[in-house]
Chain A
Amino acid sequence: MIVGTKIPRKEGLQKVTGAARYVDDIVFPDMLHGVTVRSTAPRGKIKAIHFAPSIRWNEFTVITAKDIPGKNYVALITYDQPFLADTVINHPEEPVVLLAHHDKHVLEEARRAVTIEVEALPPVLTIEESLAKTQIVWGQDNSPHENIFKEYTVVKGDVAAAFARQDVSLFEAEYATGAQEQLYIENNGMIATYSAQDGVTVWGSMQCPYYVHKGLLPLFALGDDKVRVIQTETGGGFGGKEEYPTLLAGHAALLAMKAGKPVKMIYDRQEDMAATTKRHPSKTRVKSAVTKDGDLVGLDIDFVIDGGAYNTLSPVVLSRGTIHSAGPYHTPNVRVHSRAVATNSPPHGAFRGFGAPQSIFALERHLDEVARKMALDPVALRKRNFIRQGETTATSQTIREPVDLAAVLDKALAAADYDAKKKRFLAMNPSSVVKRGIGFATFMHGAGFTGSGEKTLASVVGVEALANGHVRVLAASTEIGQGTNTVFAQIVSDTLALPYDMIDVAQPDTRDVPNSGPTVASRTCMVVGKLVQSAAIGLEQTLVNAGDYKHGAGADAFAAACAKYIAKHGSLKCYSQYQQPANVEWDDKKYQGDAYATYAWAAYVAEVSVDMATYEIRCDDFVAAQEIGRVVHPVLAEGQIEGGVAQGIGYAIYEKVVWKEGRMANGQMTNYIMPTSADAPPIRVLFDEQPSPHGPFGAKGIGELPMDGPAPAILNAIAMALDVSPRAIPFLPEDLMALVKK
């Protein structure tokens, strides 16, 4: 078995030698560079575009909305976002003009020589303003849905009755989370070429080649076969290269078409931080009804996220946040009302966790507050309410697989030495300037697309055998650091009983690989991996049916059989398409049913110290325990968790987007603070395995999971250390000072 072992990462050697080719490493002959001129006001009407006479404009390729050959919208869930603003400005980084030139230094001067004259309109900059409808900035139609991209209501049981019970205590509080920048170290970048014969081809850093493909078709009014999208080695995504690359690919391709030359557009850090998507800020009001023994009998949650100026993926982010908001608890009566609202900041988008870290933060903080007010042990409170096999989630999904979150929690607490430390810290804190705390959070994370998402996607994966017996996986699922190439190769290797070295993964290129769906939602290993496995089985079956091969006959026999088959038929490929498992059902209207095929379950424990002289907060130790089905690759899996935890620590206590008039005012790495190696704590990762029938070899998704737990665990630890109730992240020293001085 290769699954479960630490086999070296497929593209590891290229990465450690510097040979891996990222988009900025690629140069075409006669290539131009492109830049974007953006609006500066958050909202308004474009009056004029001025090109200063100091620049020889005839040397430049210049594009405005008028040059767009097809439709000026980014085809996503709705068609509201233009590739280039034409008359209306909806956020301060709205692209308006594109410029290309062979000398990138001259280009920068030209960019500064374009002025966009905007007649400013009053912007809406916060969730509160948007809900108050101080201005209508999206969906003006005199309906209650103005400014609202999407709204869901989830109802289970009878919340009103639960809250009216005589034997319960009621709690209510509001929690807030800020925007977060993905901060992948490779900025967004694309290269595009155009020719009448081949149409548009783009190479770039991206998570979802077929999103880009879908977006470019209407922009150029071209047929499927005239748009080709190729993913280059991608230096991190975390959701930040899910929807945005479509926009950038469109821009590069528009310039390439007009210039008749290849055009490269690489954002610098400042532009990438300011203009591309970030995690949705959120507000969550949680009301709970709890019996004196600690039974959580009612939860009433109002969850709102700030979607920014355009719809983009907000409905899907909202959906995941909504479904995860009631946590891994079997609460009988739940109501969740959620909305994604419009504001005049750049659209917020996908970021690891996809709405779940926001609402989980609220609930896990809330439960600690409930425990504190009721003088209950927060561990006991959680354990009393954990979902067990056969019980139902907020969407009334019955958990059919075995689950023992209490055991996961015990494991985490033991590894963190929680009880002893808590006791010690409580004893020492009163006499110490540096206060220490320990806290935890328990949560679940659904793998794959929400609800009917996978059914709608109907993803396809192929495998191809070559005459030498090598097998190539054909999928649009991208390697963005998380290990797609390695995991796919492991799955095929074990499924076909062939050496790992005989398995390759094709570069995602829409000309050559089928649409295996986007690389998001922790779905690549579980959902796509399962398809890879069934395609591999199909391929082998073809050889078996031809009478030339028997499973397990070995690499040489396999190669011989492939050679024979290919000689006769020309090629050997097998495809597999997603089928909704029989017992998975989802009602999109009522938002009830099997929201996800399966869940990963986790308990994270954080230890913090707070210096009361400076209010500096440090996370000193971290334990992350989770049940993830099957660990396909221990090193990759630990790496995913550790990396996610570090991002979660940043989310909790370091990373603050400072907004000024809808734009990011601290868009440099020196002012937007992510943890360095000197800040990140030791992170201990523990796995439990409870194989799931939905993934290959029992694997579930883990990519997003680690983002959910750190923020509530850390804030719970701070709350313990200081006996305070912090309710908003990022929670910086300034915020702590304000809280304790109050």
Chain B
Amino acid sequence: MRANVSKYELVTPASLADALKLCAGGHKPFAGGTDLMVLFESGKLPPGRYVSLWGLSELRGITADDAHITLGALTTYSDVRVNAVIAKEHPNLCAAAKETGALAIQNRGTLGGNIANASPAADSPPALLVAGAEIELRSLAGTRWVAYDGFHTGYKQTLMQAGELITRVRIPRASDRVSYYRKVGTRKAQAISKVCVAASAKVKAGVLSDLRIALGSVGPVPLRCKHTEAVLVTRVIDAQAIKEARDAVQKDIAPIDDIRSTREYRLTVAQNLVAELALRFVAS
């Protein structure tokens, strides 16, 4: 333990309203702690005051109406994994949850934390981008919904403003879509992604429409691959299409070398997986 524990305070608010007040006063949000405690342990978490969201029932629960599935910010991966509606309509999100960390992390890590933590290597964001998610942000000043696509504005930067909390995430109801999710880490569990791909589309007679492809770990933020999507829709997926898609991937992403992998590997695998998903979609 490299932190001086006495220089931190974790306050437990009685309600969401209390939490928002504390946040307005400069307390930083603390949910499942699976990102924050790792920083804390290594002495890298700034000392100061934090507000524990964990006990706030207002931020829990998954509900569905005709238009949306809505998830509280404290929804854990374990909650996502067992939700039948999500499994049916947005299997990518379940796949992401299943491949996040291992069970103890899935029991504690939250969707809100994953989004707010804004790691480009996080595994749910590609699935959320593909699902067309929106994020509810709340502060004492009020509540707003923002599209998740565009929420991450730069490395570890988001649209969230000081005093704001992520309170809910919603995704549109979906049907008749094909899905693809693949996380590439160095091992099966407890792995940080080197490349992560989520995609979904409508398929008719071997032709794709409304194709959405999102990637993680290949740029400063999780991102939609709009050039690549454009290349692959409304045409026959032949060798030429795959070749164009591979070139387009190069335009869409900006991978780097780091201690976990290389730029070259990330790019090549991203291209290979885009080819794989396109072929799989049209074959389905």
Contact = CB atoms under 8 A, between A and B. Distances in A.
Given A615-B269, A666-B259, A733-B265, A108 B191 contact: no
A637 B101 CA distance: 32
Nearest to B186: A673
Nearest to A111: B2
Contact of A654 (B184, B186, B261, B264): B186
Interface residues of A, number: 32
A734 B261 contact: yes
A732 interface: yes
Interface string A505-537: 000000000000000000000000000000000
B273 A268 contact: no
Interface string A105-125: 110110010000000000000
Contact of B269 (A614, A732, A738): A614
Contact of A678 (B182, B189, B260): B189
A372 to B, nearest CB: 27
A676 B265 contact: no
Nearest to B195: A614
Contacts of B272: 612-614
Nearest to A675: B187
A732 B4 contact: no
Given A614-B184, A654-B187, A679-B187, A671 B192 contact: yes
B2 A108 contact: yes
A734 B255 CA distance: 14
B259 A665 contact: yes
Interface in A696-741: 732-734, 737-738, 741
A109 B186 contact: no
Interface in A89-114: 104-106, 108-109, 112
B131 to A, nearest CB: 23
Contact of A105 (B3, B265, B269): B3
Interface in A428-469: 433
B254 interface: no
B64 interface: no
A737 B264 contact: yes
Given A614-B272, A671-B192, A268 B1 contact: yes
Contacts of A105: 1, 3-6
B4 A109 contact: yes
A673 B273 contact: no
A140 interface: no
A197 to B, nearest CB: 35
A705 B273 CA distance: 40
A359 B260 CA distance: 27
A106 B273 contact: no
Interface string B163-185: 00000000000000000001010
Contacts of B259: 658, 665-666, 671
Interface string A464-502: 000000000000000000000000000000000000000
Contacts of B4: 105-106, 108-109
Interface size class of chain B, counting residues whose CB lies under 8 Å from the partner chain: 20 to 34
A151 interface: no
B132 interface: no
Nearest to A658: B259
Contacts of B1: 104-105, 108, 268
Given A270-B42, A613-B269, A671-B260, A732 B5 contact: no
A676 B102 contact: yes
Interface string B242-284: 0000000000000000011110110011001101100000000
B187 A615 contact: no
Interface in A661-701: 665-666, 670-671, 673, 675-679
Contacts of A733: 184, 186, 194, 265, 269
A616 interface: yes
B235 interface: no
Contacts of B273: 613-614
Interface in B200-248: none
A670 B190 contact: yes
B282 to A, nearest CB: 16
A737 B265 contact: yes
Contacts of A670: 190, 192
A307 B31 CA distance: 46
A616 B2 contact: no
| Residue with the greatest number of chain B CB neighbours at <10 A, chosen from A106, A614, A676, A738 | A614
A105 B3 CA distance: 6
A268 B187 contact: no
Nearest to B184: A614
B187 A108 contact: no
Contacts of B262: 734
B150 interface: no
Contacts of A737: 264-265, 268-269
| Residue with the greatest number of chain A CB neighbours at <10 A, chosen from B182, B262, B265 | B265
Contacts of B260: 666, 671
Nearest to A666: B259
B43 interface: yes
A225 B54 CA distance: 56
A676 B187 contact: yes
30 contacts: A105-B6, A108-B1, A108-B43, A270-B42, A613-B273, A615-B269, A616-B184, A654-B186, A654-B187, A670-B192, A671-B259, A673-B186, A673-B187, A673-B191, A675-B187, A676-B190, A677-B189, A678-B187, A678-B188, A678-B189, A679-B187, A679-B188, A679-B189, A733-B184, A733-B186, A734-B262, A734-B265, A737-B264, A738-B264, A741-B268
Interface of B: 1-6, 41-43, 102, 182, 184, 186-192, 194-195, 259-262, 264-265, 268-269, 272-273, 275-276
Given A677-B189, A678-B188, A678-B189, 17 more contacts: A105-B1, A108-B3, A108-B43, A109-B4, A613-B273, A613-B275, A614-B269, A616-B184, A654-B187, A679-B188, A733-B186, A733-B265, A733-B269, A734-B261, A734-B264, A737-B265, A738-B264
